[in-house]
Structure 1
């Protein structure tokens, strides 16, 4: 339930995410491209003003007839409010003990800004369904949105643990939030919203129901083309990150999940706490120092090596000491995987692994990017999509049952009976030399004689001779 303006208490000054900055700021990038978000009624310091709001990244530009103001909404606090006079729905932005309210809200605009802001009403928005797992400082749960019914995942941190933890762990925590807010790619975990309660912090993300990819990779017989498509989806995700000057630096099996267990191409990279980001060039204003450029190349190469080791595991069905192997590769020590040259692979696959894991292409690997890798011939092989569970069950019904190789063999008598059903024997003792097909001998002695003779001819391969003789009513 949305609270009225008077009933809300502003705790932003004592909140975990408070950075000490004032609500309104003048420190903005003049190159930002602002987009119109609509007209609102602003209430600030008990004064009401009609304003137009523009948005660029995390900066709100608020324009009225007199002046333009700016708010950096990153890690500011978002509250839903209702105007007591007009009963109009709106929202409040709080920062460091200051706040401003806007009414006449556009829901699309609110969805754009909420991932950058901190909310407080987790318990009223979500219901916890079950526990998924544990992290070092957090627990992960499956939750359901109380209104839409959408299932999500939430990572819950105790604020006391975060405040007691080292500066590195706090940095990892804030870094992951910062990266998740920037990325929007099907191969990367998607952030939904963030909440802060009295004791806990809640990071709500999409639910990756497929689980860890490694439990499927090592339990299925995949074709080369299917494994290549997994490679392609992972390198596409990494390429997107690198284009944002973001380097994951912690790529391993535990950090690759699937959205759908039946679609191995639905890979998703998670855990960005250790990611490194360099400033992006905007109109060639920002230039990296030589040290930064060197570090950037190092992290790029580390990500490519780390992901390539995952790919190697997929093809060889072997686990590797990822960190140790990456360090050795960065030092150009290829001894531990020298058998790459002897793997039985297609030429295009062989060339990919040799380029990454041997010293044949030393010069190329130093400047190799994910974008270059995605242009390799190995990724140009067409592949039909995998069947879903429903398609598989339907196809199974139409399949002819395969005869087991362990079914018992027919006895000699059963073989004879099948043969007699196919070939109609003429009578042995006819009424006349010319009478054929009128009567059949029913004598046990005759049956045994025919059986023994026919069996010997079947075994000796003289069936044709026997058949011709029978046509002439002759017993051999």
Structure 2
């Protein structure tokens, strides 16, 4: 029988992520929609068989001629291996000391499964460039992929600190990994892969180099439209999370970073350790208790209040103790923000802040969600395009010639000019062509009125002399 082709021993039994379960699960997942990933040669317990792999979320279905088996790949160990006999590349899945090896030509499956799994070769794949941040139990570094030179961020946890800390701190780390694996949105941090070494856990994510949004707001004089771009992007991202039944519960300036400092719509929510996810079956109508329904509304309101406080700070340039203020709002205590001068803002913004931060709309806020907020007038303003020369030219009647000069008059001026010319149109006399002026011209804005008056006077004079000459001819006849 064929022996393991892996050159190093399997460490899945001592892994930080080992939950003590077996590699193949006895659970049935027939209700999931599995997608065919290809045919592979599998080596398991010294037996070689040909199998087809199917995938649905984090579940692999391994099918041969006799039976179907399932592997829940979340937090199990992944390792690339080489078949020493034919030099074919493959991968090993291992958990709690058990492993199965797969060889095949359709290895695109690795890009799909690696975010769920734990790898062990971080040092050989990435080079650390510099430290960019730190947290209570973690450090964040900028790193570079040794193969393609692409740069990423990596959050590094010391396993000893997680083991020594209370279960809550460990749960924050595990919870963030679980949430990151489920989200895929331009306004949320993107996870690439996870590694475990002897001392550390490495969470590799995209690199956000635009800087903290708070610092950007302090240093820049933003227009109302620019502020709204930021807030609309954040509410769109939050709406995406809520549709997945995920509630961030820790929205504050420290957890909002720009992906690109030149693009205000590239704001990203980060740090999901405190996020709460309500199971879909619990949220389904008829399966939720009053207590669970109250918890869901609480988390939703907390996220909306938190993001609204960010919005308030951006518009008023006043920065608050976010957590304290959110707690007060949840207790329907509005006194600490009652002094805000709403009249300095345009009516749509004033109505929005009044709805969120005053007692006037308490009933509405209890049932408010992100989709409702996105339909408010304050966000619709961004959908109204500004006037531009391109838009104006597209709106012109087909009969009007387009101006090519950069000094082309505005549409209203041109329309008045054309109307005045059309009114003073003479019939042909003695075989002359029409005197209507429909040729294109390109006056500057300063000379527009002058040209209009001149043309009018000329046409009036020509009208007078042409009629006079016609009368003379008739009299002579």
TM-score by length of 1: 0.78
Structure 1 counterpart SS, 2:280:
coil
Partner of 1:246: 246
Shift of 1:28: 3.8
Shift of 1:321: 1.1
Partner of 1:368: 368
Partner of 1:169: 169
Q: How does 1:314-463 map to 2 (within 5 A)?
A: 314-340=314-340, 342-382=342-382
CA distance in 2, matches of 1:190, 1:357: 33
Structure 2 counterpart SS, 1:19:
coil
Q: Is the 8 A contact 1:251 1:303 kept in 2?
A: yes
Shift of 1:7: 1.1
Partner of 1:106: 106
Do structure 1's residue 16 and structure 2's residue 16 form an aligned pair?
A: yes
Query: What do residues 390-444 of structure 1 show as CA deviations (whole Å, max 9, x unaligned)?
Result: xxxxxxxxxxxxxxxxxxxxxxxxxxxxxxxxxxxxxxxxxxxxxxxxxxxxxxx
Partner of 2:419: none
Q: Is the 8 A contact 1:212 1:254 kept in 2?
A: yes
Over 3 Å counting, the alpha-carbon distance change for 1:191 and 1:359 in structure 2 is same
Partner of 1:468: none
Over 3 Å counting, the alpha-carbon distance change for 1:29 and 1:49 in structure 2 is closer
Over 3 Å counting, the alpha-carbon distance change for 1:283 and 1:232 in structure 2 is closer
Structure 2 counterpart SS, 1:42:
strand
CA distance in 2, matches of 1:6, 1:368: 55
Do structure 1's residue 145 and structure 2's residue 148 form an aligned pair?
A: no
Partner of 1:81: 81
Partner of 1:71: 71
CA distance in 2, matches of 1:343, 1:34: 56
Q: How does 1:214-253 map to 2 (within 5 A)?
A: 214-253=214-253
CA distance in 1, matches of 2:197, 2:302: 38
CA distance in 1, matches of 2:336, 2:343: 14
CA distance in 2, matches of 1:285, 1:52: 37
Which aligned segments of 4 or more residues in structure 1 are displaced greater than 6 angstroms?
none
Shift of 1:287: 2.1
CA distance in 2, matches of 1:334, 1:62: 57
Partner of 1:280: 280
Query: What do residues 43-86 of structure 1 show as CA deviations (whole Å, max 9, x unaligned)?
Result: 11111111110001111001110100000000000000111222
Shift of 1:380: 1.5
Query: What do residues 28-54 of structure 1 show as CA deviations (whole Å, max 9, x unaligned)?
Result: 444211111111111111111111100
Shift of 1:276: 0.7
RMSD of aligned residue pairs (Cα, Å): 1.8
Do structure 1's residue 257 and structure 2's residue 265 form an aligned pair?
A: no
Over 3 Å counting, the alpha-carbon distance change for 1:10 and 1:286 in structure 2 is farther
Shift of 1:179: 0.3
Q: Is the 8 A contact 1:249 1:276 kept in 2?
A: yes
Partner of 1:125: 125
CA distance in 1, matches of 2:346, 2:372: 20
Q: How does 1:293-304 map to 2 (within 5 A)?
A: 293-304=293-304
Over 3 Å counting, the alpha-carbon distance change for 1:273 and 1:284 in structure 2 is closer
CA distance in 2, matches of 1:233, 1:259: 12
Task: Give ranges in structure 1 of 5+ residues lacking alignment.
Answer: 386-476
Structure 2 counterpart SS, 1:382:
helix
CA distance in 2, matches of 1:361, 1:179: 33
Shift of 1:364: 0.7
Partner of 2:461: none
CA distance in 2, matches of 1:238, 1:136: 25
CA distance in 1, matches of 2:357, 2:333: 9
CA distance in 2, matches of 1:207, 1:325: 31
CA distance in 1, matches of 2:157, 2:98: 26
Structure 2 counterpart SS, 1:307:
helix
Q: How does 1:4-43 map to 2 (within 5 A)?
A: 5-43=5-43
Task: Give ranges in structure 2 of 5+ residues lacking alignment.
Answer: 386-477
Partner of 1:155: 155
Range with greater deviation from structure 2 (84-93 or 103-112): 103-112
Query: What do residues 73-109 of structure 1 show as CA deviations (whole Å, max 9, x unaligned)?
Result: 0000000011122211100000000000010153431
Structure 2 counterpart SS, 1:368:
coil
Query: What do residues 239-269 of structure 1 show as CA deviations (whole Å, max 9, x unaligned)?
Result: 0111111111110000000000111211000
Q: Is the 8 A contact 1:52 1:62 kept in 2?
A: yes
CA distance in 2, matches of 1:23, 1:192: 23
Over 3 Å counting, the alpha-carbon distance change for 1:218 and 1:384 in structure 2 is farther
Q: Is the 8 A contact 1:88 1:103 kept in 2?
A: yes
Partner of 2:47: 47
Q: Is the 8 A contact 2:6 2:81 kept in 1?
A: no
Structure number with greater Rg is: 1
Shift of 1:330: 0.7
Q: Is the 8 A contact 2:77 2:95 kept in 1?
A: yes
Over 3 Å counting, the alpha-carbon distance change for 1:150 and 1:96 in structure 2 is same
Shift of 1:282: 9.3
CA distance in 2, matches of 1:57, 1:236: 24
Q: Is the 8 A contact 2:212 2:257 kept in 1?
A: yes
